[in-house]
Amino acid sequence: MSVADRIRDGDGTLAAVAGVAAVVLALLFAVSPFTVGLPGELSVFVEVGVLFGLYVILVLGLDLQYGHTGLVNFGHVVFFAVGAYTAAILAAQDSFAGTSLGYPWPLALVAGVLVAAVVGAVVGATSLRLRDDFLAIATLATAEIFHTVTVNFSGTFGGSTGIFGVPQPVAAVAGDFGKTMLATLVLFLGLAALTYAIVTRLTTAPYGRVLRAIRADELVTRSVGKSTFRYKMQAFVYGAALAGFAGGLFALYNGAVAPSFFTIQVTVTVWIGMLLGGASNHRAVIGGLAVIMGLRLFSRFANDLAPVTSGEFASLRLIVVGMILVLVIRYRPAGIWGDAEELGVDS
C-alpha cells in the first residue's frame, strides 16, 4: 500500500472517530440539564450549519455517483424529497393536510432511506443500461414528476401545504430553541462526518477503483472482468439512499415537509458545490459546498446593506454564483481542489 493510500485511509478513520464523538456529544448535550440562549445573530449561522450537514450527505452521495462512477444525476433532490416525505408521512401525527400515520420516527427514518433506495433502483434499472445521457434526462424527469405528484396528490402528500406534525426528536429532548439548534448542528455534522468516513472507506478500497475505472472507460473495465452494470446500480442506489437519509433527517428536524423545500435549487447547489470543489475528491466536494453555502450566508447579510429588494438581490446572487462557476471552469476546470489528471480535464 502506497503512502497516499494509507493517508487517505487514515483520513476516513479519523472522520469516523470524530463523527461518533460528535453524535454522542450532541445526544448528551440534548439530554443534559444545560440551557443555552442562542443570540439572534448567531442563529442564522447555526441554521445554515444544520443544512450544511445535510447537504454534505447529499454531495457525498452525488460524488459517489458522478465523481467516481461518472453517472450524471440531475435529479438528486428527488431522493432527498422521497426520504423526507416517506419519513414525514409515516411519522407525522394529525397533520391537517396529507396523510399522517403516526409510526415511531426511527422506523420512519429507516423507511425513508429504503424507499429512496428503491426509487434509485427503479430509475437505475430503467436507464443505466442505455446511453449515458439517458440517466441525466431520466433523473431530471423523475424529480419533476415527483414534484408534480406531491403538489397534486394532496390526499397523500398534502399538496403545496405539505405535511405537518412530524415529530422532532431532538427538540423533544432538548426543550428550548437554542439548545435544540446547537444539538442538531453537532448531531448533523457528526452524521456527515460518519457518512464521509463510510464513503471514503468504500472508495479507497478496490471497490472505488472499479468505480473510477468505469468513469474512465467502461468497456476496458468490462473486458477485465468487472460487471460494470452492477457497480453502476450500486453506486446509484447508495447515492440515492444517502440522499433519502438526509431527507429523513430533514423532516425530523424541520417538523414539516412541503414541495417548496425540494426544488431544483437543491440539486443545483450540490452540483455546483461538487464541481466548484473538485469532483471525485470527497474532501474537495465538501469544501466546494462550504464555499457555495458560505456565499449564500454572506449574501444574506449583504442584502441588508444593499439598496435593492430581496428579489433583485436573489438574481444578483445567481449572477455572482454563475460568474464564479465560469471562472472556476475557465481556470480550474477540475475544481478548486480537484486533480485535473484524475478527472481527465485539460487545464
- Residues in touch with other proteins (CB under 8 A): 1-2, 198, 201-202, 205-210, 212-213, 215-217, 219-228, 234, 238, 341-344
Q: Least distance to other proteins from the beta carbon of 234, Å?
A: 7
Buried b (16+ CB within 10 A) or exposed e, 128-162: beeeeeebbebbbebbeebbeebbeeeeebbbebb
Of 77 and 242, CB closest to other proteins: 242
Of 47 and 342, CB closest to other proteins: 342
Which grid cell sits at 302? Answer: 449583504
Nearest to 342 by CA among 86, 8, 6, 1: 8
Q: Least distance to other proteins from the beta carbon of 226, Å?
A: 6
Q: Least distance to other proteins from the beta carbon of 98, Å?
A: 35
> Cβ(51)–Cβ(293) under 8 Å?
yes
**Cα Rg, the chain, nearest whole Å:** 20
Nearest to 267 by CA among 141, 105, 170: 141
Size (the chain), residues: 347
Q: How far apart are CA 312 and CA 310, in angstroms?
A: 5
Q: Least distance to other proteins from the beta carbon of 344, Å?
A: 4
Q: Least distance to other proteins from the beta carbon of 241, Å?
A: 12
Of 26 and 64, CB closest to other proteins: 64
Of 134 and 229, CB closest to other proteins: 229
Q: How far apart are CA 157 and CA 179, in angstroms?
A: 31
Q: Least distance to other proteins from the beta carbon of 12, Å?
A: 10
Mapping DSSP to helix (H, G, I), strand (E, B) and coil, where does residue 163 land?
strand
Of 294 and 344, CB closest to other proteins: 344
Q: Least distance to other proteins from the beta carbon of 251, Å?
A: 27
Of 141 and 198, CB closest to other proteins: 198
What letter does residue 260 receive in the DSSP assignment? Answer: G
Q: Least distance to other proteins from the beta carbon of 209, Å?
A: 5
Cα separation values, 225 from 209, 214, 219, 228, Å = 13, 12, 10, 9
Which grid cell sits at 217? Answer: 472507460
Of 134 and 207, CB closest to other proteins: 207
Of 30 and 285, CB closest to other proteins: 285
Q: Least distance to other proteins from the beta carbon of 7, Å?
A: 14
Please report the DSSP string for 82-128 in residue order.
HHHHHHHHHH--S-SSS------HHHHHHHHHHHHHHHHHHHHHHHT
Which grid cell sits at 199? Answer: 464513503
Residue with the three cell numbers 473495465: 221
Of 109 and 211, CB closest to other proteins: 211
